[in-house]
Structure 1
Amino acid sequence: MADTSIDYSQIQLKENIPLSEEELNRIAIQKRDFFKDTPGILLAAIIVIALIASFVLKDEFTNFKFYHYITGISILLVFYSFCYCIIWGIYKYSTKNWEKDIKDGKNKLTSIITYRHKTENDEYIITFAGRHKHEKIKLPVEKAYYDRYPKGTKVIVTYLKYSKVVLTLNENP
Structure 2
Amino acid sequence: MIDDLKISLQENIPLDDKDLKHIETQEKGFKKVLPMVLGGSVFLLMAFTAFLIRDHFAGFKCYDYILFVCAGFAMYGFCYCMAWLVMRYDSANWKKDKTYGKNKLISMVINRDKTEHAEYLTFAGPSENEKIRIRVKPEDYSRYPTGIKLTVIYLKFSKEALELNRFD
For the criterion TM > 0.5, the same-fold answer is yes
Aligned residue for 1:133?
128
State the partner residue of 1:118: 114
Counterpart selection for 1:17 from 10, 13, 19: 13
Using structure 1 for the length normalisation, give the TM-score.
0.67
Q: Deviations over 1:70-123 (max 9, x none)?
A: 24303422552465367447636854773587222422111011122123x422
CA RMSD after TM alignment: 3.7
What is the TM-score with the length of structure 2 in the denominator? Answer: 0.69
Q: Do 1:113 and 1:155's aligned partners in 2 also have CA atoms closer than 8 Å?
A: yes
Distance 2:162 2:153 in 1: 5
- Unmatched runs of 5 consecutive residues or more in structure 1: 54-60
Amino acid at match of 2:146: K
Identity %: 41
Shift of 1:22: 2.0
Corresponding residue for 1:27? 23
2:100 is aligned with 1:104: yes
- Structure 2 SS opposite 1:164: coil
Determine if the alignment matches structure 1 residue 66 to structure 2 residue 62: yes
In the alignment, the residues of structure 1 paired with residue 16 and residue 26 of structure 2 have an alpha-carbon distance, to the nearest angstrom, of 16
Distance 1:164 1:96 in 2: 20
Q: CA deviation at 1:126?
A: 1.6
CA contact (8 A) 1:126 1:146 kept: yes
Q: How many residues align?
A: 160
Q: Match of 2:125, as an amino acid?
A: G
Secondary structure at 1:152's aligned position in 2? coil
With over 3 angstroms needed to count, the CA separation of the structure-2 counterparts of 1:140 and 1:73, relative to structure 1, is same
Report deviation, 1:129.
Answer: 0.2
Structure 2 match to 1:166:
161
